[in-house]
C-alpha cells in the first residue's frame, strides 16, 4: 500500500518561486495548522530551475523541499514542461504549436509547445530526468505530476510541420498501403485519392469540411502523441523515483485526447475542479447559470469524480479545487459560504484520496492576480481557509471503509465525442453532453454511477447505460449479451464503423444482434421544433427506426422512439428529462434497484457504509424523505442548510 492509499488528505498548490524565502516556513506551518498535509510544487518553475541552457540552480528548490519536509508535508513534485523557458524557445523556434489557421502560438503565457516536435520531446526527457534524479528518492516526495493540464488552452491539436511529418509516419504504419487508406477513408469521394503517404496534409485550411475519416485519424494521432509524450516522462520517473505515485491533472469537460489511454501509464488520475467557472463556460442555460452561480451545477463535479475514478482505475485525486472567484470565466462570482467544504466532502464521498486547493495564496502579479487562493495576497486568511479547516475536521468520516460501489455503469468513450464534434449533424450535438444529461437524470434519482470506458469490466452492474457510442468495439456486444443487467443505448450508438462510415447493415450496426432494429434516417431539430408523443416529446435529434418490435414509446403519428428486446432498450431520440426519468425508473424497478427522488439541487453518494447528501441550493432543503426513520445523522441536519452536507450510516436496507 502506498502513502497515497493509506490516508485521505488535503493538499495545496504552492509556488515557492513566487514568494520571499522568509515566508516559506511560516506558510508551511500554517498549512499544517489548517489540516493540509500535502503540497504540490514546481509545475511552472523551469526558468528558475534552469535559468540558461545547462545551468541549473537547485539551491532554492532544495531549500523549499527541505522546509516542507521539516514541516511534515508530503510533496508532489511536477515536471515543468508546460512552461518551456524563453531560451529554449529561442533555440528551437519551431517547437511551438501552430493553430488551425496557420498562426504560431507564441511564447508569453504557457503550453507553447507542439507534442510532435522531436527536439522538444528530447528536452522534455532531459528536464524530467534532471528533476527526477535530483529529488526522486527524497523521503518527502510521495508523487509526481507530469506536466500540467494536457490540452489546456486548446493545445492538443497542433498544425505544425512537425505534426505533419509525424502524422504521415503514423498513417503509413497504420495503413501500410496507401490504397488501404484511400479505401478506409472513402477518398474516391470528391477525387481525394492519394498516391503516397507523403501527399497527405493535415485536415485544416480545406475549402469546405475535410473528410471526417481524415479528421478522426488526425485526432487519434494527436491523442497518441500526448500519450507518448507523457509515457516518456513516466518511464524516466519510474526509474529515478521508484515507489512514488505518478499522476497528471486532467481537466473538466476536456476531451481532446483519450484520458483512459493516457492513464494506463499513471497510478492515479487527478483532475482540476472549478465548479463556478465550468457552469459559466459550458452549455448550461441561463436559468441554471443564475440558480447555481455561486454553487456550480450539482452534477458537474460529481460527473468528473465518477469519470476520473474510472480513468484512474479506482485511484483518483482532485489536484486543484477552486477556493474562491477564479479569473478565467466570463463572470467570476464568489462561492456561497460552505461550498468549498461541500465540494471537498463530495469529492471524498466519491472516493477521492486527496483534495488539493489551487492555490495557497493569491498572486498579486501576472495573469492570475484576480484568482483567489486560501490566503489573500497580504497573507491574511481568505474565506476558504476556514472551510478547509472544517473539511479537515470531517476527514475522520472517510478513514475506514472506502468502497464506492455503484449500481449503474455509464459508458463514455473519448472517441465518441471526437466523432460527434467532427460530424455534429445538428448544431451543438455532443456525445459528452448526452452522457452528462443521462448522468444528471440518473443522479436525480439518487443512483450511484461509475463512468467507464467501453473496454471496462461490466459484470456486477445492475443497470448499464450507453448514452452515445457511435463505434461499438468488437468485444462489447458479447460482453453486453452476457451481463445480467438492464441495458439502454442512446441515439447514434452503433451508427459508425471505426473508419467513420455508416455500417453496411445500417445503424446500430453490431447491436442489431441484441435488438432487431434498423435506423433508416436521422433528423436533427432546431431549438423549439419538437415531435410530440402522448405525454412526452422528442427534440434536437430523432431517428426513424424500422423494426418488427412494437415500440414501448411512440410519437402521436405512430413512429417508435423506445424499442426493447429482453433486457436491452434503444432510445431513438432525445426525450424530455421527465421521460428519461420514467425510463430509468422503469429499468431500475425491473432489476430491483431502489431509487431515491432527490429534492431539486440535492444529491447523494454512498461511501462505504455512509450515505452522504449534499445541498447545492442557495436555500435550505428538507432531506427527511431521504432518511430512514431511525437514522442518526453523523453530519448535518434534517433541514439541510444552503451548501450543507449530511451523512448517516446506511445499511443498504430501504425502509
Interface ranges with ligand GAL (CB under 6 A): 148-149, 152, 272, 274, 320, 326, 328, 358, 368, 371
Query: Min. distance of Cβ 95 from ligand GAL in angstroms?
Result: 21
Nearer CB in complex with ligand GAL: 273/420: 273
Element (H, E) at 75: strand 74-78
Is 320 considered catalytic here?
yes
CA–CA distance from 70 to each of 63, 74, 135 (Å)? 10, 10, 15
Nearer CB in complex with ligand GAL: 149/407: 149
Nearer CB in complex with ligand GAL: 113/274: 274
537 within 8 A of 531, measured Cβ to Cβ: yes
Among the listed residues 280, 320, 346, 417, the single catalytic one is 320
Strand partners, 545: 519
Nearer CB in complex with ligand GAL: 150/414: 150
628 within 8 A of 604, measured Cβ to Cβ: no
Nearer CB in complex with ligand GAL: 248/540: 248
DSSP 104: B
Half-sphere exposure of 122 (CA within 13 A, CB side): 6
Among the listed residues 43, 149, 437, 531, the single catalytic one is 149
Alpha helices in 339-489 (DSSP H): 339-349, 383-394, 414-422, 431-444, 474-482
Nearer CB in complex with ligand GAL: 359/606: 359
- How many other β-carbons are positioned within 10 Å of the β-carbon of residue 325? 18
Q: What is the CA radius of gyration of the chain?
A: 25
Residue whose grid cell is 516518456: 232
Nearer CB in complex with ligand GAL: 319/435: 319
Q: Residue 523, Cα to own-chain centre: how many angstroms?
A: 29
Burial label for 619, CB within 10 Å (0-12, 13-18, 19+), is exposed
Element (H, E) at 300: helix 300-311
551 within 8 A of 560, measured Cβ to Cβ: yes
First to last CA, the chain: 37
Please tell me whether the peptide bond between 230 and the residue prior to it is cis, using omega within 30 degrees of 0.
Answer: no
**Helix/strand/coil percentages in the chain, nearest 5:** 35, 20, 45
Query: Min. distance of Cβ 44 from ligand GAL in angstroms?
Result: 7
Report how far residue 193's alpha carbon sits from residue 211's, in angstroms, rounded to the nearest whole number. 11
Q: For residue 235, give the nearest of 270, 265, 259 by alpha carbon.
A: 265
Query: Min. distance of Cβ 569 from ligand GAL in angstroms?
Result: 39
Burial track 262-282 (b if 16+ CB lie within 10 A, e otherwise): bbebbbbbbbbbbbbbbbbeb
Report how far residue 404's alpha carbon sits from residue 282's, in angstroms, rounded to the nearest whole number. 28
Query: Min. distance of Cβ 224 from ligand GAL in angstroms?
Result: 23
Nearer CB in complex with ligand GAL: 60/328: 328
Nearer CB in complex with ligand GAL: 270/447: 270
Report how far residue 11's alpha carbon sits from residue 40's, in angstroms, rounded to the nearest whole number. 7
Q: What residues are labeled active site?
A: 149, 320
Amino acid at each position: 500500500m502506498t502513502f497515497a492509499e493509506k490516508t485521505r488528505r488535503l493538499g495545496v498548490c504552492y509556488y515557492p518561486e513566487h514568494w520571499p524565502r522568509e515566508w516559506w516556513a511560516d506558510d508551511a506551518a500554517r498549512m499544517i495548522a489548517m489540516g493540509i498535509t500535502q503540497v504540490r510544487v514546481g509545475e511552472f518553475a523551469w526558468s528558475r530551475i534552469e535559468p540558461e541552457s545547462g545551468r541549473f540552480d537547485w539551491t532554492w528548490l532544495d531549500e523549499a523541499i527541505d522546509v516542507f519536509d521539516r514541516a511534515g508535508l508530503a510533496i508532489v513534485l511536477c515536471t515543468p514542461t508546460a512552461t518551456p523557458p524563453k531560451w529554449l524557445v529561442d533555440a528551437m523556434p519551431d517547437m511551438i504549436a501552430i493553430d488551425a489557421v496557420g498562426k504560431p502560438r507564441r511564447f508569453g503565457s504557457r503550453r507553447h509547445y507542439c507534442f510532435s516536435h522531436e527536439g522538444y520531446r528530447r528536452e522534455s526527457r532531459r528536464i524530467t530526468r534532471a528533476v527526477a534524479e535530483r529529488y526522486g528518492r527524497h523521503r518527502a516526495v510521495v508523487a509526481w505530476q507530469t506536466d500540467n493540464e494536457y490540452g489546456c488552452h486548446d493545445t492538443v491539436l497542433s498544425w505544425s510541420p512537425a505534426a505533419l511529418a509525424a502524422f504521415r509516419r503514423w498513417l503509413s504504419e497504420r495503413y501500410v498501403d496507401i490504397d488501404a487508406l484511400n479505401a478506409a477513408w472513402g477518398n474516391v469521394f470528391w477525387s481525394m485519392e492519394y498516391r503516397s503517404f507523403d501527399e497527405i496534409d493535415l485536415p485544416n485550411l480545406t475549402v469546405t469540411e475535410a473528410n471526417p475519416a481524415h479528421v478522426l485519424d488526425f485526432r487519434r494521432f494527436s491523442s497518441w502523441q500526448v500519450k507518448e509524450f507523457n509515457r516518456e516522462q513516466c518511464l524516466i520517473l519510474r526509474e529515478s523515483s521508484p515507489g512514488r505515485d505518478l499522476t497528471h491533472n486532467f481537466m473538466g469537460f476536456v476531451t481532446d485526447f483519450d484520458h483512459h489511454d493516457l492513464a494506463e501509464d499513471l497510478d492515479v488520475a487527478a483532475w482540476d475542479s472549478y465548479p463556478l467557472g465550468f457552469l459559466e463556460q459550458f452549455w448550461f442555460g441561463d436559468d441554471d447559470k443564475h440558480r447555481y452561480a455561486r454553487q456550480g451545477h450539482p452534477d458537474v463535479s460529481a460527473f468528473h469524480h465518477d469519470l476520473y475514478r474510472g480513468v484512474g482505475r479506482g485511484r483518483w485525486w482532485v489536484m486543484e479545487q477552486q477556493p474562491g472567484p477564479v479569473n478565467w470565466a466570463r463572470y467570476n462570482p464568489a462561492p456561497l459560504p460552505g461550498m468549498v467544504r461541500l465540494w471537498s466532502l463530495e469529492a471524498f464521498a466519491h472516493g477521492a484520496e486527496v483534495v488539493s486547493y489551487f492555490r495557497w495564496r493569491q498572486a498579486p502579479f501576472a495573469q492570475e492576480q484576480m484568482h483567489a487562493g486560501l490566503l489573500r495576497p497580504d497573507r491574511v486568511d481568505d474565506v476558504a481557509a476556514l472551510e478547509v479547516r472544517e473539511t479537515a475536521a470531517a476527514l475522520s468520516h472517510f478513514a475506514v471503509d472506502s468502497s464506492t460501489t455503484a449500481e449503474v455503469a455509464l459508458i463514455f468513450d473519448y472517441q465518441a465525442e471526437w466523432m460527434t464534434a467532427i460530424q455534429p449533424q445538428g448544431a451543438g450535438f455532443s456525445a459528452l453532453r448526452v452522457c452528462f444529461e443521462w448522468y444528471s437524470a440518473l443522479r436525480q434519482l439518487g443512483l450511484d454511477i461509475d463512468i467507464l470506458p467501453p473496454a471496462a469490466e461490466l459484470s456486477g452492474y445492475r443497470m448499464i447505460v450507453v448514452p452515445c457510442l457511435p463505434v461499438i468495439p468488437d468485444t462489447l456486444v458479447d460482453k453486453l449479451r452476457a451481463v445480467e443487467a438492464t441495458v439502454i443505448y442512446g441515439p447514434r450508438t452503433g451508427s459508425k464503423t471505426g473508419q467513420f462510415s455508416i455500417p453496411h447493415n445500417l445503424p446500430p450496426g453490431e447491436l442489431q444482434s441484441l435488438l432487431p432494429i434498423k435506423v433508416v434516417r436521422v433528423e436533427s431539430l432546431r431549438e423549439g421544433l419538437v415531435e410530440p408523443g402522448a405525454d412526452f416529446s422528442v427534440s434536437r435529434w430523432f431517428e426513424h427506426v424500422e423494426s418488427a418490435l412494437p415500440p414501448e414509446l411512440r410519437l402521436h403519428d405512430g413512429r417508435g422512439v423506445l424499442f426493447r428486446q429482453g433486457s436491452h432498450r434503444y432510445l431513438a431520440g432525445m426525450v424530455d428529462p421527465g421521460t428519461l426519468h420514467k425510463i430509468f425508473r422503469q429499468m431500475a424497478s425491473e432489476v430491483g434497484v431502489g431509487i431515491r427522488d432527490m429534492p431539486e439541487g440535492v444529491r447523494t453518494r454512498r461511501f462505504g457504509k455512509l450515505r452522504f447528501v449534499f445541498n447545492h441550493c442557495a436555500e435550505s432543503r428538507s432531506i427527511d424523505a431521504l432518511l430512514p426513520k431511525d437514522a442518526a445523522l453523523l453530519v448535518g441536519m434534517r433541514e439541510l442548510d444552503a451548501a450543507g452536507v449530511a451523512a448517516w450510516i446506511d445499511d443498504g436496507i430501504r425502509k
